[in-house]
Structure formats: C-alpha cells, structure tokens
Structure 1
Amino acid sequence: MTDGPLERDCVIAGGGPAGMVLGHVLARYGLRVTVLEKHADFFRDFRGDTIHPSTLTLLGELGLRKRFLRLPVHRLPTLDAVLYGHRLHVVDFRTLPPPDDFLVLAPQWDFLDFLAGEAGRFPGFELRRSTAATGLVLDGDRVVGVRATGPDGDLELRATLVVAADGRDSTLRVAAGLTPEGTGVPIDVLWFGLPKPPQPPPPTLAHLSRHGMVLTIDRGDRYQAGMVIPKGDADDIRARGLPAFRARLSEAVPALGPVVGALTDWDQVKLLSVQIDHLPRWWRPGFVAIGDAAHAMSPMFGVGVNYAIQDAVALANAVAADLAAGAVPDQHLAEVQRRREIPVARMQRLQRAGHRVVARGAAGRRVAPGWAVRLLGLVLPLVRPRLTRLIGVGFLPEHVRTPSAPSGPPGAGRSPG
C-alpha cells in the first residue's frame, strides 16, 4: 500500500462518459480530481457510440466541439428504419437549431481518449488507469474516500466527494449500501461486427420484418450490428449453430447476405443483457451515483451515454463551488437526484413501452399490419420534429454553468500529488 492516503477534492470511480465528463468539468474549475479506470485502456467493443446533439452542445460549451469533430467521426443527419419493406425517415436532426443538427457516431474509446487528453490539460486532473475502486472509506455515516487497487498495489484516496460512475454493476454503489430497483425487460441483444456489403443500403438504424429485428450502426467501412432477441433465448440460438444464425440474419436483412460469412465463431457475438433499473436514492453523505450506476438505461433510442453525461454536468453545476469551499451539503446531492430522476424516469417509461413492441418483432410476430405501417409513413412528417427533439435533445437538457476558472477557490490550480 502507498504511504498514507492521497487527498483529492473529488474521486470518480469509472472512466466512462459520465466519469470523464465530470472529471473534465471539475478540473476545468480548478479542482483536484482523480478518475479511477479499472482497465488499462478504453478499448472495449459494443459500447454506446452515439453522441447526441445535446451532447455536442455541451462539448461546445466546454470549448471542445470543434476539436472533437476533427476526429474521424461519422455524422448522421437522419435516422431511418425499414419496417416490413417500407423505409421510414423516423428522425431528421436537421429540424434542430444549428450547429448541433446532426448525430455523431464515434467509437466510444475514441471519445473517451479525447476527453482524457483534454482533461489532462488541467493541472488538477488525474486519470489512474488499471486502478479499480474496491471500497469506501467512512467516517461515521459520511463517505470520506475510496479504497482501490492498482499497478503499485493497494491505495487509499481521501476526498470531499466520491462519485460512483462505474456502471450498472457498480462496486461502489454496493459498498454504499444502495440497491437498485429493476424493471423486467423482455429483450436482449446479440452484438457483432460486420463489414459493409459491396452495395450497402442507405444508413438504417433498425430493420424489422417477420424474421426479427436487426440493428445496424454505421462505422464507416463496417457495421456494429445487433439482433434483438427474446430475453433468455441466447443459449437456444447458439445451440442451433452459427450457420442458422447467419441464415436468420440474411433473411431479416437481405442486404447483409453477402457479408454474414464474416461471422465464423461465436466469440464474435456478444450478449448484451438489456435491463432498466434505478436507485430509489442516489446518494449518501459524501457520495453520489450517476449514469448507469444510478439508472441503467436500455439501448433503445441510444440515449444512455447522453443521459449519463447530462447527470455529470448537473452534478458539476451543483457541487463545484461546494468542493472549492471544502464541503458538499447533503441537500445539494439530493437536489441533483431530484432534478435528474425526472427526465430519466420519463425516458425509461418510453423505453419500456418500446420494449413491448420490439419484443413482438424479436419473436417473429408481426408488430403492425401493412396498412398501419403505410399510415405511419404518412403521419411521421407531422410528428418528426417532436420525435427528433425527444431523441436528439431529450427531457430537461443540461448546460454547463461552472466557469472555466473561479476567482481563487481553495485548491485552484493544484496538481495531483
């Protein structure tokens, strides 16, 4: 173990989008912030790749938008779906106010590396890779630090605020005695990568037919793809064999027929167990959970990354000045939960409603008759702007309120040590 605990203003467990954005915003304020990331790098496939217009707005408020868009990202002005052979233009981000009138697809590891590099410009920011948070340090009922293990052994970090941004299987959430309440979800997703076919169709997020539902996320020269399946069916699908799975994919999306042969081993197919849950209480003195640690979102609408980042910004807005003063009142943590659980609950209700529809398609049952699909195509132009705002901006979008540098708070400009 290192000699004595390290002192920080804030320690964040988890180097995902929520943790990295929170670390950046607080370090920008002049605070000493440490992010603990248990992996050596951010390279893990089948993570959320969608950067929504509201997140682009936040990046602009942080002065990062232009530099981020210089990365090899893929911009999508619209999102299409194919329902029983009918192509529907479901979302048109060009109806949103410019300049944030498109959605960005970027591998999450690129996004996180970018955030880490930008946060590293601030002397108070520290990212400890290969370092896993293992428990909490308590002083009575108050959390005053984190225990962790890293390349040099065990260590202890003391902090005014500890944040769990370590995902839906959060270690620190358990250590804090906070238990999520789950909602039954009828679907799972089998994720895999595929090269694009020689003659790819127009960018299409979802394909629904009597053969099931398949997602295709454009990554330039390849797809991150997923087959939506009834929950618990993964073992049965594997038992039928990979040739049957490839045939099912080809039937569901004929355009993928020429490339499904790229799937040669089940190791290429990963199971995403879809879940929705939430913590009845996100905080305790000196501690708060955000993102998936506070509320696991379904991949439906691709909003999980966006809502996690919104949590991070709301928390930074609420506590940056408190951290600079050396104490975070409990009521400010409670206020963050009250503010953020409203949009989260609304979106989760929509996701649950969507699951009921998608589950029918995943099981091969028809979701709607042909006339209803054609009628939907006629109605969509009327509701598309509202639907676009719902997906692209969401409920109660946050905006960065912390200044780039406060006027002389305790700890401003202190380097990690």
Structure 2
Amino acid sequence: MVVAREGCPMESTTCLVVGGGPAGMILGLLLARAGIDVMVLEKHGDFLRDFRGDTVHPTTLELLDELGLREEFAKLPQRRLNSVALPIGGRMQTLATFEHIPGRFKYIAMVPQWDLLDLLAHAADTEPAFRLRMNTEATDLLRESGRVTGVRYRTEDGATGEIRADLTVACDGRTSTLRAAAGLRVRDWPTPFDVWWTRIPRNDTDPAGAVPVLTADRVAIMLDRGDYWQCAILIAKGIDSTVRQREPVTDILRQMAAAVPWLTDRVDAVQSWDEVKLLDVKLDRLERWHLDGLLCIGDAAHAMSPVGGVGINLAVQDAVAAARILAPKLISGKVEESDLARVQRRRSIPTAVIQSMQRIAHARGIAPAVSGKINVSNFDSTPMVLRVFRRIPILRSLPPYLVARGVFVEHAPEFARRPVPPAPMVTESG
C-alpha cells in the first residue's frame, strides 16, 4: 500500500496524464468527454515555447472537426502549407503537393502550438471531469506490488506531493522522466544531423509555403508563418558548439542568400547566437510502451526525427487510439496491462513505417547534404532524380500522403464527438 509521506499531500484521479503537449491535452479532453476523471500535469506555467513544432496535419484537422472545434480553430492565426518547392535554375519548382491526398483537408496548417494548446485546454475545461495542473512536474513513479499507481510531483515553488491514479500516461516528451523512471528499454538509431531553429522576417513578395534551401554550406527549410519565416537549418551532428565558437552568426543567412537571392536584404536579420536554438535530433522507440499501470505515448514512446514534421501528428493519433481503447476499461475500473499492449500494437506499425522512412531520408539525403556532398543550388535545370520523381505518380503521391495522413487514421470515438455549432441565420430586414 502506498502511504503519503508526512506533510506530503496525496491526491487521486482515474487517469493521470503527465505532459501538457498535443498528445496529453487531446487525451485529457477525450477521456473527460467520456466522463472519466482525468488530471493533466504540465510542468510549465504556460504553453509558450520557442520553436515547438507548429504543424497541424490533415488528420488532426479532421479530429478537431469531429470534436466540434473546427470553427474555434479557424479563428487562430495560421498559414496553410499546400506544397513544397525547391529553388532550382533561378526559380521555384514544385516538388510535392497535397492537392491529391484524400479527405477534406488538403493542406497542413501552420499554427503556433501554444494557441492550439490553449484551444484544447479551454475545450477540456468545460468538462466537469477534467483538471489541468500547471507548474507541476512529475518527478518519479509510485509503485505498489509491482504496479505503477501514480507519481510524485514537485511544483514551481518547491512543494511536493503524490497523486494516485488507476492509470498513468506518460506524454512528457523525448526526455521523458517517467520513461526513465520505469526503466523501459529503448532502441535508438544514430542521426546524422541536428537542427538550428531561428526566425527571419518575411516580405509580401517572398514565395509562400515551405521553401527548402540547399547550398554548399547550408541545408535548411523555411516555413511560411505570415510575417516571418520559421527556419530549420540542418547541421552535422554534434558540431553546434564548435561552429558557435568559430563562426559569426551572420554567416548563416549570408550562405543561404547564395541560393535564395531574395534573402539578400535580410542577411543581417539574425544578430546573436542567442536567437538560434538547438534541437538535438533523436530517433528512438521503446521496445515496450507500458508497464502495469503505466502507458507511454507520443515522443515518450517514440522520439521522431523532424523530417516530414510528423511527430505531433503521430503523438495525437496515439492519444486518440489510447482514448478509444482504454475509455471503456477506465469506466469499468479495471485496466489490465494487456489493454495497454493493445494500444502499442495499434500504434507501433505506423510509427515503425514512418521511422523507417526517416532513416532512409537520413542516410540517402540528409547525411550527404550536411556533409557537403550534395548541392542542388549548383543545378541550372531540374535534376534527373526530381524529373523522375515528378513523372511517376506513386513516387509523387506517396511521400505527401504519408506526411499528411500517415499509415492509417485514428478518428474521434463517438463519445467525444460534438457537432459544430450552426452558423447564425441571416434574415433580410424590412
């Protein structure tokens, strides 16, 4: 039996979700709509983070529609990514488009993640069974007779406590504290690159959408965010500290402008290395995503490469599958480890497929590019490999499909669906 330590408050809930990212907030909302008492712990005081993944894929857009949140989502500041183009021969040439993918939403929405999380938090807050605890960090697991029964936590002001739960779900990211505490075995793959994130002002005359930039010195992708570009700059693995000490930060944009001349007027836009954030790229997957009483989903179960921007989409789909499979068990009061294994079986195939594609992209494309062995900017016409890619329908359609929709789609369970409020009726006066 777990007993609260002296002076340490003990609380309880049916399902404890650790991590207030997209997976955690979606899972909390879905379970609360099933009438299940659910508590979400978020270690920060708000959702504001620099350079979080801001892509909302078609499957997540469909989910928001099914949850009755389409109109609220439409009010958020956003841009739409319909295609990917490469600067070749002095002009932009379309590499891939989402116009032929199935479904209602044929684009990726670029939305500040804090806005999306605020929307989900407000929707969940209307459910009596939902509680969100900010500034509360899970620090360890509680166990009883070999079963996980909750967590220990610490608040921002240093207070500690314990929360007991029938089920604990780790959604606390690629550096998951709960995954480490559980001692679950991780299989990882080497990655040839890390990513610098920074922002560059955007002019109205710039291209729209996503713009890859390849030079002899830089590989980057620029994401259209309206009044600025969110730039992911790929660098060889482990060289960040060396480059920061050796090179001025202004070299980044000067080298990019060699391939994208319309950036020339902004080569001094990044003035300090403090404006450049490092993402340590990881690619790994738990061999087993669960213990009795504990389930890991999202990055806590499988850290994804940023290739394709699919990490958020996979995490949200994990949450939907977990809610559909586990809600009846939580309502009945008995969640077996075999139920948690069902979630892993459902989600392990799409995860493995996407990670396999990322590993191929790492080996065949990114590793040569960051080592300087590929320089598309030197081509004065469309390279043969790209011409073949464009002419064969399966080659042209498969990558956009997998990026946009994944291997298969998880839809909102019936208990969580809400109709979209009807538009107000407009009547003629007089």
Common fold: TM-score over 0.5: yes
Once residues 362 and 226 of structure 1 are traced to their aligned partners in structure 2, the CA distance between those partners, rounded to angstroms, is: 13
Deviates more, 1:192-201 or 1:296-305: 192-201
Q: Cα–Cα, structure 1 residues 364 and 83, in superposed 2: closer, same or farther, change >3 Å? A: farther
Alignment of 1:322-361 (within 5 A): 322-356=329-363, 357-361=365-369
Which of 362, 366, 386 in structure 1 is aligned with 2:374?
A: 366
> What TM-score do you get using the length of structure 2 for normalisation?
0.89
3-state SS of 2:76 partner: coil
Letter in 1 for 2:38: V
> Which residue pairs with 2:284 in the alignment?
277
Note the alpha carbon deviations across 1:118-143, whole angstroms, 9 max, x for none. Answer: 11110111111110001111111111
Q: What displacement does 1:98 show? A: 4.6
Q: What displacement does 1:81 show? A: 3.0
Give percent identity, aligned residues only. 42
Note the alpha carbon deviations across 1:58-78, whole angstroms, 9 max, x for none. Answer: 111211122212212212222
Once residues 380 and 265 of structure 1 are traced to their aligned partners in structure 2, the CA distance between those partners, rounded to angstroms, is: 44
Count matched residues.
Answer: 405
Letter in 1 for 2:411: H
Alignment of 1:17-166 (within 5 A): 17-82=22-87, 85=90, 87-151=92-156, 153-166=159-172
Paired residues of 1:30 and 1:124 also in contact (CA < 8 A): yes
**RMSD of the alignment, in Å?**
2.0
Letter in 1 for 2:256: L
Which of 180, 184, 199 in structure 2 is aligned with 1:178?
A: 184
> What TM-score do you get using the length of structure 1 for normalisation?
0.92
Gaps of 5+ in 2: 1-5, 418-430
Paired residues of 1:195 and 1:259 also in contact (CA < 8 A): yes
Paired residues of 2:15 and 2:167 also in contact (CA < 8 A): yes
Once residues 264 and 322 of structure 2 are traced to their aligned partners in structure 1, the CA distance between those partners, rounded to angstroms, is: 47
Once residues 217 and 136 of structure 2 are traced to their aligned partners in structure 1, the CA distance between those partners, rounded to angstroms, is: 44
> Which residue pairs with 1:386 in the alignment?
398
Matched, 1:404 2:416: yes
Once residues 37 and 118 of structure 1 are traced to their aligned partners in structure 2, the CA distance between those partners, rounded to angstroms, is: 17
3-state SS of 2:143 partner: strand
Q: What displacement does 1:176 show? A: 1.1
Paired residues of 2:223 and 2:229 also in contact (CA < 8 A): yes
Deviates more, 1:66-75 or 1:101-110: 66-75
Note the alpha carbon deviations across 1:26-64, whole angstroms, 9 max, x for none. Answer: 011111111110011111111111100011111112111
Once residues 22 and 88 of structure 2 are traced to their aligned partners in structure 1, the CA distance between those partners, rounded to angstroms, is: 32
Q: Cα–Cα, structure 1 residues 62 and 198, in superposed 2: closer, same or farther, change >3 Å? A: closer
Q: Cα–Cα, structure 1 residues 327 and 382, in superposed 2: closer, same or farther, change >3 Å? A: closer
Q: What displacement does 1:383 show? A: 3.7
Q: What displacement does 1:226 show? A: 1.8
Once residues 192 and 284 of structure 2 are traced to their aligned partners in structure 1, the CA distance between those partners, rounded to angstroms, is: 14
Q: Cα–Cα, structure 1 residues 42 and 287, in superposed 2: closer, same or farther, change >3 Å? A: same
Q: What displacement does 1:182 show? A: 1.1
Which of 304, 307, 310 in structure 1 is aligned with 2:314?
A: 307
Paired residues of 1:197 and 1:259 also in contact (CA < 8 A): no
Letter in 2 for 1:270: K
